[in-house]
Structure formats: structure tokens, C-alpha cells
Amino acid sequence: MTADAAGPIRTTAAELGGLLAGLCADHRIDLAGAVALPCPLPLADRYLDWVQAGKHAGLEYLARDPEARLDPTLRTPQASTLLVFAQGYTRGWPAGDADPSAGGSADEPIPWIDRVARYARGRDYHEVFLGDIKGVLAGLRRVWPALTAHASTDTGPYLEREYAWLAGLGFLGRNTCLIHERLGSGLFLGVALTDLQVDGLAEPGEPAVRPLYGVSPRRAQPPPEAYLSACGSCTRCIDACPTAALDPDGGLDARSCLSTWTIELQGEAPVGREAEQGGILFGCDICQAVCPWNQRAFNRPAPPVPGEYAALPEHGDLELEDLATIGGEEFRARFRRTPLWRSHPEGMRRNARRVLANLAGSPEEEDRS
């Protein structure tokens, strides 16, 4: 980020919100907000304790340089505002969803892609959503040519969910997800680190009550002050998690999460826990599928999500059995530009073999060759 010789770009929350409204609508972004930097993160201890307890499951990038992760201005002193965006990839989950949430059954075969988490059935959001965020930033640069902004989704050193809460995009659920009361949690999050100076944002460390732009409003009666969680006494996600990865006191142990086992992990999942994967092939949506906020979102009219996130038609050419033996070349040709790429061919073969064994009811007989 370079300093602007003409001095900082100053704007107001109202002006920025007006610009974002037009640009986000053009670029299929559902929610946008902003956080003034530097910003003390009220939930920083959750992150620090999580890493300290080893709950990051050996994903070392999450433990690296925690100070910089908690304060982006340490690496980029000129940064003064973090823009935060959300883009829908599904509008909630129907109750009784026959996807991975059902765990799979040998009697009722379903297409393998239905065993993949919703976010990963179509094109990769690291391309689609990032492209849309960059489109919004290009629009802002037409107004402020000297604007410096660095966009990322998922891969940057930011606690994206906490920033999204601080920017007023939604609340944080016991499943640890960012939930919007009307859109649910089927939302990707992304940020842009900028040198904008915005008057009228919430005080650093205080959550905004609502975003600067939203395709759908938050609660009809906004809370008097932004709240952290609207779960109430519900514990459905904790009760439904097949691996007990969610802590009743808040937080997720990534060592036990099926999303880690099926996407991030190289090698085998914990020995003796094979059956807990059920019929899940890649990623896991169970703790979101059971959430009442998502079931309500499913039944509520809302603009469609980008078509790129629908299951790709070419996925229909394959069967689960093909994935159990898929070679590196074919894996590359089919999945290079999809989220499934992250599992590597070895991981996909491992996952498919495990599902087949679980459906047959004999995980211990799984062939690991």
C-alpha cells in the first residue's frame, strides 16, 4: 500500500454506503460494511486460546504471527479501513435436506455431488467472489483514483467472521458461523484493506448495528445495540455434529471437524473414528443445515445466488466409485478450477473409499491400498 501524495481520501459512512449500494448490486454482493482500523478485536482471546489449545489441527498458517493477524496495521501502517463483504452461495438449507447432512444411505443412492458441501459444488469462490470484490473496488477507484485496496477472501490473515460481525453483517452462532437473520449463513466472507478514512463508522472495537449495504435488511426491528449472538437457548448444531467438534461453551475443535478430515487433512482421519464420516465426501454442512436461521432463510424470498455456485453439469459424468480410484491427470482436468481441487487426488480417493465403506456398513474393511 502506498501513501497518497495528495493526502488521505476522506469520506463519510453515508457516502461510502451509497457508493457500495450501487456497486455491490452490480457485482452480486449481498452485504458490505466497514471497520475502522486499528481495531481491538473483542474476541481475540477466543482465537489465541484456540491456537494455544491446539484446536487449529496443525493448520500452521493459523498460528503464525498472531499479532499481525489480530492487527493488520502492524504490517500495513497506512491501512485505515477494512471493507468487509459477503456473497451468498445458498439461501439456507431445507429441513430434511438429502445432502451430506443426511449422512448417506446404501438403500437410497444419491449423486456423489450431493455428498459435497454446498459451497464446493460449483466454481471456486476464490475466483468468483474475489472477482466480484475487485469489481466493486474498481468502481470505488473511479470515484477515488488514488484509493489503495487489497482484496482477499479466505486466504488473508484476517479473522473474517469477527470483522464481519464488527461491520454489522450479522451475528456469530454457536456453530461459529456468521449468520444474517434473513440470509442465513450460506455466505462467503471477504475483505479489502484500504487507506480510506471514513467518518461515522462505529468506534473501533464496537460492533456496527447494521451494514453499510444489505440486499436484505437485518431484523425487522433492529436490536438497540448490535448483539454478538442470537442463538438463545438453541443447541441444535452442537447436538447434530456427528463428531462432537463443537464446544457447548463456544468454539470448534478443528481436529474433530469433518471439514478438516475431508478437505485439509493429508493422510488418514483419526483411526477408529471412520464411521463418524458417514456418507460425507467433502466438507460438511450439518451444523448449518440444522440451524433454524437457515431453515427460515430457505423459505424466505431473496435474490438468487450467483449461478457459478450451482453444481457443475459435468460432475454428473462420474460415480462415487470413479472417485475412489481417480488418477491425478483426470482429477486435475476435472477439478482444477473448483474447490474440490484442495483435497488433492489422494484425499479425494481416501474420502470416496471411506464413504463407500461406510455405506456398506464396514468401515474397518476399507481398502487403503
Place of cell 456453530: 175
363 binds, among ligand SF4, ligand B12, none (CB under 5 to 8 A by kind): none
CA nearest neighbour of 181 among 297, 32, 24, 21: 297
169 binds, among ligand B12, ligand SF4, none (CB under 5 to 8 A by kind): none
3-state secondary structure of 88: strand
Q: Quote the least distance from Cβ 274 to ligand B12, whole Å.
A: 18
Which of 127/247 has CB closer to ligand SF4? 247
Site for ligand B12 (CB under 6 A): which residue of 30, 97, 99, 160?
160
294 binding ligand B12? (CB under 6 A): no
Can you give the binding site for ligand SF4, defined by CB under 6 A?
A: 173-175, 231, 234-237, 241, 243, 245-246, 252, 257-259, 284, 286-287, 290-293
Please give the Cα distance from 98 to 109 (Å, whole number).
10
How many other C-beta atoms lie within 10 A of the C-beta of residue 257? 23
Map the footprint of ligand B12 across residues 89-128, applying CB under 6 A.
117, 119
Please give the Cα distance from 255 to 70 (Å, whole number).
23
Return the C-alpha cell found at 167: 461491520
Return the C-alpha cell found at 58: 496443525
Confirm if 172 and 214 have CB atoms less than 8 A apart: no
Q: Quote the least distance from Cβ 290 to ligand B12, whole Å.
A: 11
Site for ligand B12 (CB under 6 A): which residue of 115, 174, 210, 315?
174
Confirm if 172 and 46 have CB atoms less than 8 A apart: no
Site for ligand B12 (CB under 6 A): which residue of 24, 31, 226, 254?
254
24 binds, among ligand B12, ligand SF4, none (CB under 5 to 8 A by kind): none
Strands 149-152 and 187-194: antiparallel
154 binding ligand B12? (CB under 6 A): yes
Which of 49/199 has CB closer to ligand B12? 49
Please give the Cα distance from 246 to 250 (Å, whole number).
7
Q: Output DSSP code: residue 60.
A: G
Please give the Cα distance from 125 to 363 (Å, whole number).
33
189 binding ligand B12? (CB under 6 A): yes
Q: By CB under 6 A, name the binding residues for ligand B12.
A: 43, 46-47, 50, 59, 62, 117, 119, 153-154, 158-162, 172, 174-178, 185, 187-190, 228-229, 250-252, 254, 257, 259-260, 264, 283-285, 287
